[in-house]
Homo-oligomer: A and B are copies of this chain.
Amino acid sequence: MKIAVLGASGYTGADLVRLALTHPQVEIAALSANAKAGQSMADIWPHFAHTSLPGLVKAEDIDFAPLDFVFGCLPHAASAALLSQIEGPKIIDLSADFRLKNAATYAQWYGLAHPAPTLLPGAVYGLTEFARAALPEARLVSCPGCYPTAALLALLPLADAIKPTNISINALSGVSGAGRSLKEANLFAEVSEAVAPYAVGSHRHMPEIEQELSAAFGESVTISFTPHLLPMNRGELETIIVELRAGETAASLRALLHARYTDEPFVHLLPEGVAPATRMVRGSNHAVINVFADRIPGRAIVIVAIDNLVKGSSGQALQNMNLMAGLPETAGLEAAPLFP
């Protein structure tokens, strides 16, 4: 598979390159980063100092014709504008542009008209474990946001057992989720030894989670979602409170997750009582989930952990590519988590 990565100067793009480097069927043919065109990856990424990779070019200078896959790791809006021009290779977009099916919802949350609304109906929402039927024929796959990936893996198998009301997601994320852009809030001395919530009640991943939960429940779902920025590079953990339907318990939710994920290579229900932790998945494409009884009757606590840059972004993108290309789903993603 000959691939191009557009936006290779961000953390997401770089982590895709990191994984692709050891993928046995992938050849990295082109890397773009418009503001850094002309530089080498080693110039801008310390961990590629000793790696041989194509130099960075402008996206417009890439010959897309011979490629099999283009990965879009660009900011929203810019992504759709560029990807909609590309013919030939299949497209896997990691931006937010093709996640929301409704162009009006997109306009409302992102503050601008969608750059390519005609592509929305055909875009496959690439939460891999729930998209396998559609992936082989897809031409455009939109990878879910990191927070939605974790939330939906935890909640989608539970739709028959929990109520669609009062789903409350408390989310904790490492700083790489904020990207490599120069913001004071992302400086080491601001983040280290500290924690704070951000975008309370206004985070753009909310409508995406609601869209998918609404489809699963067959009715409109409104969620509560509060993300927090933590002093760590990677990792994402969500602690989700759900209301149980009559007769359901934490144990019955565990049974549903067990049934759904027992054969999955990357999603794992932990043994009863074991709390998910980000160190279980660091640097890997794995997700770990568990369910606990809440002290308030009629509710349960579902907890899920992923690596935001891998299963939450670049790893899932490669997992999607594998299925789109008919490769083994785990190709290039077998590395165990890095701990400590």
Chain A interface residues (CB < 8 Å from chain B): 11, 14, 18, 21-22, 45-51, 165-166, 168, 170, 172, 174-176, 180, 182-184, 186-198, 200-201, 206, 222-226, 228, 230-235, 237, 239, 241, 268, 270, 274-284, 286, 288, 292-297, 299, 301, 303, 305, 334-340
Cα A154 to Cα B340 in complex, Å, equals 26
Interface centre among A180, A183, A275 (most CB of B within 10 A): A275
Cα A314 to Cα B8 in complex, Å, equals 31
**A277: contacting residue among B174, B195, B201, CB under 8 A:** B195
Cα A168 to Cα B240 in complex, Å, equals 11
Q: Which residues of B contact A281 (CB under 8 A)?
A: 47
Cα A239 to Cα B166 in complex, Å, equals 15
**A224: contacting residue among B274, B288, B299, CB under 8 A:** B299
Q: Which residues of B contact A295 (CB under 8 A)?
A: 201, 206, 222-225
Given contacts A196-B279, A228-B239, 11 further A-B contacts (CB under 8 A): A21-B336, A46-B277, A47-B280, A47-B337, A49-B280, A168-B241, A168-B296, A175-B187, A196-B278, A223-B296, A224-B301
Q: Which residues of B contact A14 (CB under 8 A)?
A: 339
- Check B288 against A190 for contact (C-beta < 8 Å): no
- Check B21 against A195 for contact (C-beta < 8 Å): no
**A292: contacting residue among B21, B200, B280, CB under 8 A:** B200
Q: Which residues of B contact A166 (CB under 8 A)?
A: 166, 296, 299
Q: Which residues of B contact A237 (CB under 8 A)?
A: 195-197, 228
- Check A231 against B233 for contact (C-beta < 8 Å): no
- Check B200 against A301 for contact (C-beta < 8 Å): yes
Which residue in chain B gives the minimum CB-CB distance to A190? B340
Which residue in chain B gives the minimum CB-CB distance to A14? B339
**A339: contacting residue among B47, B165, B200, B293, CB under 8 A:** B47
Which residue in chain B gives the minimum CB-CB distance to A19? B336
Please name the 5 residue pairs, one residue from A and one from B, whose CB atoms are nearest each other, closest first.
A196-B277, A189-B340, A47-B337, A47-B339, A194-B279
Q: Which residues of B contact A274 (CB under 8 A)?
A: 49
Cα A180 to Cα B186 in complex, Å, equals 11
Cα A70 to Cα B184 in complex, Å, equals 27
A90 nearest CB across to chain B (Å): 24
Interface centre among A18, A170, A334, A338 (most CB of B within 10 A): A338
- Check A176 against B201 for contact (C-beta < 8 Å): no
Which residue in chain B gives the minimum CB-CB distance to A168? B241
- Check A283 against B338 for contact (C-beta < 8 Å): yes
Q: Which residues of B contact A180 (CB under 8 A)?
A: 184, 187, 189
Given known contacts A187-B180, A239-B228, A192 and B192 CB-to-CB distance under 8 angstroms: yes
